[in-house]
Amino acid sequence: MFTRRTLLLLLIVITNFLPFAKAQEPIDLRQAEDSLRMLMQTVIDEKDIAKKYVSNQLFSDYLQSVLEKNEAFDYPFDSLTHIGKLNTADKLLRVFTWNIPLQSGMQTYFGFIQTRINGNVAVFRLNDHREQFETPQTEISNPDKWFGALYYYIHQNTFEGVTYYTLLGVDFNNLFSRKRVIEVLSLGRDGTPILGTPIISVRNHLISRIVFEYSAQANMSLRYDTAKDMIVFDHLSPMRGDFAGNYQFYGPDFTFGGLQFKNGKWEYMPNIDVRNPQREQSPLPLTPPVENPEPGFLYKPNTIPKDLDASKVE
């Protein structure tokens, strides 16, 4: 059974929700935020996994009802410190993500995309279905089939009237490996989010997303470098040659790659100098090193359809 505290929170949420259940009714955002904060704390504190999921469902449903209010779009929800909140530069899209860790070390991710088009707010629930992706690099998806992750950065680019939102995220995956994700989001003609928009160009192949997998004992860097105006990431290599392809034994090899936005595509740059240009740097060798082998986790050339391109996205 639920604790008395959980039942009390449920009563508070229902009491607060009913007055503005109809779309045209105003909402007290501070009161709603306070209820959401308490509900999330219940999710965090609950030890029983079944009850945790029930509390999380209550939190998710209540959050969605709040986000669907037009006046909620500009509200910061600062007290909800246990969920990620990202805003785009054009102030037309927001992304919320959070996770529930399981005792097995596995993770379940949750989230919402909130859009504002012509003054009208729409909310799309993100449903984590990572297990359904056979080849994440080549699959265009939607909020109902989301490659779940916790997003920590969003970057906006526009080309020929189309706006692309590039998300950087982390997936804690399991006890043995972690993942970093580069996901490109765009909006279809009807305003529905398109996930995995295929504008990432790697060796003349257009792919939908990049998923890096590496040892849970390692720490991989994936970030946007504002000075270089590009995405920069660690190259990953196996700890031993016989571990090739077993990504729980991969880690940074002290070389770096990147993606630079050119002519509507993220172009893969295999070797990036990440040293601080303001500091004195040691001279480069007279003979540059041989280019890094193509990172195998970026894509599988024999699985990429030749006709996979941005024209498939409507």
Rounded to two decimals, what is the model's pTM? Answer: 0.85
Copy the structure tokens of residue 266.
Answer: 């993220």
Length of the chain in residues, anyone?
314
Domain boundaries, given as residue ranges, for the chain: 1-82, 86-304
Backbone angles phi, psi at 213, to 5 degrees: -120, 140
Residue 60 neighbours by CB under 8 Å, 6+ apart: 110, 125
pLDDT at 288 (0 to 100): 42
pLDDT greater at residue 50 or residue 11: 50
Residue 212 in contact with residue 236, Cβ under 8 Å?
A: yes
Radius of gyration of the chain (CA): 21
Using one digit for the tens of pLDDT, what is the confidence trace for 205-224? 899 999 999 999 999 999 99
Other Cβ atoms less than 10 A from the Cβ of 181: the count is 22
pLDDT at 199 (0 to 100): 96
Cα 56 to Cα 100: distance, rounded to the nearest angstrom: 9
Cα 86 to Cα 225: distance, rounded to the nearest angstrom: 17
276 pLDDT tier (thresholds 50, 70, 90): low
Tokens 């040293």: give the residue.
275
Rounded to 10 degrees, the C-alpha dihedral 151/157/158/159 comes to: -110
Distance of CA 300 to the CA centre of its chain: 22
Backbone angles phi, psi at 39, to 5 degrees: -65, -45
Q: Which of 101, 94, 140, 95 is nearest to 308 (CA)?
A: 140
Q: Which of 192, 168, 61 is nearest to 115 (CA)?
A: 192
Cα 233 to Cα 212: distance, rounded to the nearest angstrom: 10
Cα 300 to Cα 202: distance, rounded to the nearest angstrom: 11
Q: Which of 55, 60, 59, 67 is nearest to 27 (CA)?
A: 67
272 pLDDT tier (thresholds 50, 70, 90): confident
Share of the chain above pLDDT 90, in %: 69
Copy the structure tokens of residue 40.
Answer: 């999330």
Residue 187 in contact with residue 163, Cβ under 8 Å?
A: yes
pLDDT at 287 (0 to 100): 46
H-helix segments, 18-151: 29-45, 49-67
